[in-house]
Amino acid sequence: MNLQDKVVLVTGGASGIGRATSIAFARSGAKVALADIDGRGGETTLGIIQQAGGDALFVGCDVSSAHDVKSLIERVVARYGRLDCAANIAAIEGSPRRIDQVPEEEFDRVIQVNLRGVWLCMKYEVTQMLKQESGGAIVNLSSAAGLVGSVRSPAYGASKHGVVGLTKSVALQVAKQNIRINAVCPGGVITPMTERIAAASGGTQAQLGSAHPLGRMCQPEEIAAAVLWLCSDEASFVTGIAVPVDGGLTAM
């Protein structure tokens, strides 16, 4: 994928899919601003990119904070002059409990990070992209749990269905301004998040993988490939869609 000199923002860049996506963008020639609440993980991703000769910046940011997200976009524009693409990946998984066992505070936090976080990021990314004649492209990370119910965590499932709704709605609002917005809906991906999910249910990632028609979980790079394609000019007529990249999980 050729993304030479594109200015790209990746949230959740300290771990898992966000790290793999940041590295893939940098390898494709993009200038990458990666943001995360986890400073140590963010610096590690930054180091990997810089050691390979890439141009990147790490910004500490809580995506559920309007103040943090607004200053994140300001930092990116101050450093690189514009924002061509954004991948809104940061999220939390919620706990595997039946609804009657879940404290209100947990529901609120999942929605704040996963849904308000994506809304805030899009708000300030779109604000910048509207200033640019070239427009831009945004990809939001939803989930297979954004397309079908989540027995594990209804709050997580609701937040990811919300991300699909936000994606389609904002895509319609800004299509005429040459800003494309799409969502990617992964099945099981081998990341620290699924390590925690497997451990919380007393299982393994391999067991989670067996639920997929392709018979396995995927690597974060397989999700990054879809994100890069949607951001690239190869996807110039694609907007407002939620693409399952899920080994057939939601085909059943």
Ligand X SMILES: NC(=O)c1ccc[n+]([C@@H]2O[C@H](COP(=O)([O-])OP(=O)(O)OC[C@H]3O[C@@H](n4cnc5c(N)ncnc54)[C@H](O)[C@@H]3O)[C@@H](O)[C@H]2O)c1
Q: Site for ligand X (CB under 6 A): which residue of 73, 121, 141, 147?
A: 141
160, 44, 73, 106: CA torsion to nearest 10: 30
Indicate if 124 belongs to the active site.
no
Q: Site for ligand X (CB under 6 A): which residue of 49, 86, 171, 189?
A: 189
Pairing of strands 56-60, 85-88: unpaired
**In angstroms, rounded to a whole number, what is the distance separating the alpha carbons of residues 169 and 178?**
15
Q: Which is nearer to ligand X, 81 or 149 (CB)?
A: 149
Q: Site for ligand X (CB under 6 A): which residue of 90, 121, 170, 243?
A: 90
Q: Site for ligand X (CB under 6 A): which residue of 6, 9, 18, 33?
A: 18
Report, in Å, the least distance between residue 237 CB and ligand X. Answer: 25
Q: Site for ligand X (CB under 6 A): which residue of 194, 230, 244, 249?
A: 194
Q: Which is nearer to ligand X, 132 or 216 (CB)?
A: 216
Report, in Å, the least distance between residue 200 CB and ligand X. Answer: 13
Report, in Å, the least distance between residue 68 CB and ligand X. Answer: 8
Q: By CB under 6 A, what part of segment 30-59 binds ligand X? A: 36-38, 41
Give the residue closest to ligand X by C-beta.
16
- The answer to whether 142 touches 185, Cβ cutoff 8 Å, is yes
Q: Using CB under 6 A, which of the segments 25-33, 79-87, 89-97, 165-173 binds ligand X?
A: 89-97
Q: Site for ligand X (CB under 6 A): which residue of 62, 70, 71, 102?
A: 62
Q: Which residue in the list 25, 80, 107, 156 is annotated as catalytic?
A: 156
Q: Using CB under 6 A, which of the segments 16-24, 77-85, 122-130, 175-183 binds ligand X?
A: 16-24
Interacting residue ranges for ligand X, rule: CB under 6 A: 11-12, 14-18, 36-38, 41, 61-64, 89-92, 113, 117, 141, 143, 186, 188-189, 191-194
> What residues are labeled active site?
156
